[in-house]
Amino acid sequence: MDEERDLGRRERQIIALERRGFSGPGLKERAIREELGLAPVRYYQLLNALLDDERALAFDPVTVNRLRRVRDARRSER
């Protein structure tokens, strides 16, 4: 495994969490805190940076492209 090309454990965990669906309010934030040990604000900072990382795109193109589309749509609404 080449550390410079591959995502770290935390980055892979963030993408895996984004793949999941959360059925109720607050469930995602709870999972962020309990499973990753992060505050939601920090999680979203890391996620946003990860969306611009080509390693993340190579790791899970479907999830990363979906999240990029959502982010771009939100930005264009502002």
pLDDT of 11-56, one tens digit each? Answer: 999 999 999 989 988 999 999 999 999 999 999 999 999 999 999 9
In the three-class reduction of DSSP (H, G, I as helix; E, B as strand; rest coil), residue 17 is classed as helix
- From the list 49, 75, 74, 34, the residue with the least C-alpha distance to 15 is 49
The pTM assigned to this predicted structure is 0.86
11 phi-psi bin (left φ>0, alpha ψ -120 to 50, beta other):
alpha
Nearest-angstrom CA–CA distance, 60 and 17: 12
Find how far residue 14's CA is from the centre of its chain: 5
